[in-house]
Amino acid sequence: MAMAGPVKSIAPYLKTNRLHAWLLVFLLCSVSYLLGSWRKAAVTIAASKPCVSSSLDFRPRRAQDEGASSSENVRTYPPCDVKHSEHTPCEDPKRSHRFDRRRLIFRERHCPERNETLKCRVPAPPGYRNPFRWPTSRDMAWYANVPHKELTVEKAVQNWIQFEGDRFRFPGGGTMFPNGADAYIDDIGKLIDLRNGSIRTAIDTGCGVASWGAYLLSRGILAMSFAPRDTHEAQVQFALERGVPAQIGVLASKRLPYPSRAFDMAHCSRCLIPWDLFDGIYLIEVDRVLRPGGYWVLSGPPINWKNHWSGWQRTKEDLSAEQTRIENVAKSLCWKKLVEKDDIAIWQKPINHLHCKVNLCPSQDPDKAWYTGMETCLTPLPRVKDGQEISGGELANWPERLNAIPPRISKGTLPGITAEIFQRETALWERRVSYYKTVNNQLGLAGRYRNLLDMNAYLGGFAATLVQDPVWVMNVVPVEAKVNTLGAIYERGLIGTYHSWCEAMSTYPRAYDLIHADSLFSLYQDRCELDDILLEMDRVLRPEGSFILRDDVDMLVKVKRIIDAMNYDSQIVDHEDGPLVREKLLFAVKSYWTASAPSDDPHTS
């Protein structure tokens, strides 16, 4: 009994101490939570400010654990020699001449092996200057940026281009429009309606310096202009310098890198394409990319040959036979000839193939167009129930077309993409681009950028949001993407191309003012080298041009390390939804630099 007393007297003390301890622990936890919340709020506020880096540490966790320095294992990327200032890897004339000259196969894409690619930064030529701002750039370009006078001599009488001191001037002339592209387009507009919004996308084959596409823009029509690398020196380069959509391309043996039913109008003005030869294969390819009810416009030989045959230095019989063969190919495609007036002839593709009894291609993907061979059979249109139904679905007129549900989506032909997803994407990109403009205020400055590239465009939401700005966007759908969405992008009234970013793009250096990429590097992880993609991006970006990249934080840290080694000014900022989202944004600006001018001193090297 003597020991029972002390035990009873200590018990209340122990309970009291326990209570105090629990209260102390609770108090410390509360203080810690409040401090953490305050710090999180501070980080969020800092991240929301334009052009202010987040205070988060974006280094990959493995690098932190191993104590790795951010400068370790970073390659250097020196400038290339000035002779590479117009380097176009997949259209290199020296490589091209190894290939078959029949049907211009040697002018198609022929890319170097991966171990042959340059690991240096393509320089701007000496004296390079920022291009004139749009719309001044439509009519003027600096000579130093595209130092080629060949066209000023070769096309002098046709008024394509004039050389004036330190610049070129583009009067808007062309081989078949001596009164200028504007007057020529007006002539086309008297034959088909160019102003009611039914014609929004166009393709110009053998585009010259793209004056036709340049002057269509004021009519709300967006043209994809293309021409081979060397037919006339630097013609596509001139088009891009003017701020007009264009890319290097040729009708030869492979399909054009566009989906079926993409364009409302196709155009050839003395483009020197032999439409009547090779079983009409080139007109068959035009038919594939032309939407049901679309138009093909032809001017130049052999149209109006009775008045031009002597100037074209060909016989009447030769030109008459050529026109007959073209007419026969068009009939075999079930095209209807609408009109031939003076120098212009126009055909129209049928709205469906219900009553078209021709050699249709066997079952195949009509949208497959990356290194895909052309065929001399007609690409079948989607089936219809009656002769009045438009194959694939009717398109709204422009500008309603932009936000209308694309028929490819409404008809369920794009796996996993519904009308609801499309509408959600539209709203999402409006919010994202608004956020971009708070971080990069240059994007909201009219005239600062003109040529934009979206490297992984999905449904074209980035481009659609900018459609009222004085810019145009080349929407790229990578061939490695899970869903081929380029057809839906065209159904919105936008333009784009297929491409694999493991290869160089079919364009000249310094083609774009701003490059956007959403989840591109995650898509290409383990497919090809990251620095090869970034060097290609650097090649096609102008000095003082910009990147906007969004991807997983660890991927962007790797990207930042490489572009910093390329002398970019870059920063990673938080996602528009805040710092807790793993996806981050990388904003970067390319430094202004050019190749050195050749020295006048023979003793220096």
Question: Which comes out higher in pLDDT, residue 75 or 573?
Answer: 573
pLDDT at 175: 74
Contact between 392 and 261 under an 8 Å Cβ cutoff? The reply is yes
pLDDT at 208: 87
pLDDT at 233: 67
Percent of the chain with pLDDT over 70: 85
pLDDT at 96: 86
Contact between 543 and 591 under an 8 Å Cβ cutoff? The reply is yes
Has residue 602 got a pLDDT over 50?
no
Work out whether strand 162-164 and strand 140-142 pair parallel, antiparallel, or are unpaired.
Answer: unpaired
pLDDT at 66: 33
Average pLDDT of the residues in 8-17? 38
Contact between 345 and 268 under an 8 Å Cβ cutoff? The reply is no
**Which residues lie across from 174 on neighbouring strands?**
177
Average pLDDT of the residues in 34-43? 41
pLDDT at 114: 85
Has residue 54 got a pLDDT over 70?
no
Has residue 38 got a pLDDT over 70?
no
Has residue 154 got a pLDDT over 90?
no
pLDDT band at 290 (very low <50, low <70, confident <90, very high): very high
Has residue 155 got a pLDDT over 80?
no
Has residue 388 got a pLDDT over 70?
yes
Q: How many CA atoms lie within 13 A of 320 on its CB side?
A: 5
Has residue 470 got a pLDDT over 80?
yes
pLDDT at 363: 74
Has residue 71 got a pLDDT over 50?
no
pLDDT band at 332 (very low <50, low <70, confident <90, very high): very high
Average pLDDT of the residues in 272-299? 97
Average pLDDT, the chain: 87
Contact between 126 and 117 under an 8 Å Cβ cutoff? The reply is no
Kindly give the residue spans of alpha helices, DSSP state H, lying in 270-418.
Answer: 281-289, 305-308, 316-332, 407-410
Average pLDDT of the residues in 453-479? 98
pLDDT at 45: 28
Average pLDDT of the residues in 54-67? 34
**Which residues lie across from 517 on neighbouring strands?**
549
How many other C-beta atoms can be found within 10 angstroms of the C-beta atom of residue 168?
A: 26
Average pLDDT of the residues in 412-424? 97
pLDDT at 22: 54
Is the bond leading into 292 cis (omega within 30 degrees of zero)? Answer: no
Has residue 161 got a pLDDT over 90?
no
pLDDT at 178: 84
Residue 498 to residue 109: CA distance in whole angstroms: 13
Residue 373 to residue 586: CA distance in whole angstroms: 38
Average pLDDT of the residues in 495-517? 98
Has residue 129 got a pLDDT over 60?
yes
Least confident of 36-40, 206-210, 303-307, 570-574: 36-40
**Type and span of the H or E element at 14:** helix 4-48
pLDDT at 595: 92
Has residue 604 got a pLDDT over 90?
no
Residue 146 to residue 149: CA distance in whole angstroms: 9
pLDDT at 488: 98
Residue closest to 223 by CA, chosen among 231, 214, 232: 214
Model confidence pLDDT, tens digit, residues 82-106: 999 999 999 998 888 889 888 999 9
Average pLDDT of the residues in 512-527? 97
Residue 127 to residue 320: CA distance in whole angstroms: 50
Model confidence pLDDT, tens digit, residues 166-191: 999 998 877 788 889 999 999 999 99
pLDDT at 24: 54
Contact between 391 and 352 under an 8 Å Cβ cutoff? The reply is yes
Has residue 397 got a pLDDT over 60?
yes
